């Protein structure tokens, strides 16, 4: 099973929320999960209603069954100092470079270097073991950049390894890519059942596969319930006004029969229903169009041939209780998929 879960998605799809829910879901039953943020937005701290995360691994939540979720906000400057100390023993000199502004200059002028540092720190957590030889974390979940940038973000070490043919930089870049292109990693994309997010997801999967990066699954977020049955959808789609008016009149009579006339209130029900029919049909048509769009989106996602998970829309927004609810939904779907597809792994077609 994959240990590094990279979560991406088009802006507005809730990728950070899904990453946090996934970290909680994977930490269930005594597991330890590290949730990594690389964009400097402190979105994880806001979701868990805690103080801004420092550049250190800090426990932020306890999952069902006693598992633990730790979080780390990776800072590119601090990661570069760690890198300089690890490979070049520039402890004091590295701090001096920071005071002179050289570290900030390096990470700003070379955005590729910044991505190398961020991915390298996450992969170090994947490989790290404790004194007993066990992995420090069972799972690492990375809240990654959006879909349009995630392939280049993950693949930057390949470019660096090609530019630096020898030395510690080359070796470090190759070590990172060995993790990112292995079965230990799965890149998951978050989408909504809307045209643009679905298309960006389809394009993103194609880019990941072309770059030989292992694709995990697709998480469809903020799924809204279908409030009309098949017959009602058909009636709304065909604009059958009389049929809808009759059904509405009967419904109004059942809720308030006191004002009915001698034959049971049919006249009053019809009169009350008449001004409501037009707006009701319009809303029903809009609902019908949305359902048709969502079905096309599901069909496009199904053609990708990947594991798919769905999380319902939280009407009141995502608070801490809502986050735990999403984690339970996701955990249930992961367990169900594990039972029905025990050999299912990340898509590694073309992976080295």
Q: Positive or negative CA dihedral for 206, 211, 217, 223? A: negative
Instruction: Measure the CA–CA gap between 160 and 164, rounded to whole angstroms.
Output: 6
Report the percent of the chain where pLDDT is more than 70: 70
Query: For residue 220, what is the enclosing H or E element?
Result: strand 215-223
Q: Mind listing the pLDDT tens digit for each residue in 105-135?
A: 444 445 567 788 789 889 999 999 999 999 9
> Could you count the other beta carbons within 10 Å of the beta carbon of residue 192?
22
φ/ψ of residue 326, rounded to 5: -60, -40
Angle at 208 between CA 215 and CA 143, to 5 degrees: 65
- Map tokens 């100390």 to a residue: 85
Instruction: Measure the CA–CA gap between 171 and 75, rounded to whole angstroms.
Output: 22
Q: Mind listing the pLDDT tens digit for each residue in 205-259?
A: 999 999 999 999 999 999 988 765 666 666 666 666 666 666 666 666 666 555 4
- The bridge status of strand 215-223 relative to strand 32-37 is unpaired
Nearest to 194 by CA among 301, 285, 327, 284: 301
Residue 264 has pLDDT above 90, yes or no: no
What is the pTM for the complete model shown?
A: 0.81
- Map tokens 């979720």 to a residue: 69
Instruction: Measure the CA–CA gap between 216 and 346, rounded to whole angstroms.
Output: 4
Q: What is the pLDDT of residue 322?
A: 94
φ/ψ of residue 303, rounded to 5: -65, -15
- The bridge status of strand 215-223 relative to strand 68-73 is unpaired
């Amino acid at each position: 099973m994959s240990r590094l879960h990279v979560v991406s998605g088009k802006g507005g799809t809730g990728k950070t929320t899904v990453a946090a829910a996934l970290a909680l879901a994977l930490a269930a039953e005594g597991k330890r999960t590290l949730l990594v943020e690389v964009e400097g937005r402190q979105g994880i701290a806001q979701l868990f209603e805690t103080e801004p995360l420092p550049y250190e691994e800090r426990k932020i939540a306890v999952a069902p069954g006693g598992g633990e979720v730790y979080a780390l906000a990776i800072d590119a400057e601090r990661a570069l100092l760690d890198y300089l100390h690890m490979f070049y023993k520039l402890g004091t000199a590295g701090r001096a470079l920071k005071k002179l502004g050289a570290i900030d200059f390096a990470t700003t002028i070379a955005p590729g270097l910044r991505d190398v540092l961020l991915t390298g720190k996450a992969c170090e957590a994947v490989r790290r073991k404790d004194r007993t030889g066990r992995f420090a974390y069972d799972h690492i979940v990375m809240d990654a950049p959006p879909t349009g940038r995630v392939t280049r973000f993950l693949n930057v070490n390949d470019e660096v390894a090609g530019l630096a043919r020898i030395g510690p930089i080359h070796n470090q870049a190759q070590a990172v890519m060995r993790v990112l292109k292995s079965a230990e990693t799965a890149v998951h994309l978050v989408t909504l059942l809307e045209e643009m997010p679905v298309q960006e997801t389809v394009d993103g999967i194609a880019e990941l596969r072309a770059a030989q990066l292992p694709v995990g699954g697709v998480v469809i977020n903020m799924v809204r319930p279908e409030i009309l049955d098949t017959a009602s959808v058909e009636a709304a789609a065909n604009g059958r006004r009389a049929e809808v008016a009759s059904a509405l009149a009967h419904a109004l009579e059942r809720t308030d029969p006191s004002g009915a006339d001698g034959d049971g209130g049919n006249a009053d029900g019809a009169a009350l229903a008449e001004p409501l029919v037009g707006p009701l049909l319009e809303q029903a048509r809009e609902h019908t169009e949305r359902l048709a769009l969502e079905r096309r989106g599901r069909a496009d996602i199904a053609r990708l041939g990947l594991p798919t998970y769905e999380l319902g829309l939280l009407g009141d927004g995502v608070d801490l209780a809502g986050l735990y609810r999403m984690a339970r939904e996701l955990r249930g779907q992961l367990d169900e998929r594990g039972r029905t597809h025990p050999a299912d792994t990340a898509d590694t077609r073309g992976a080295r």
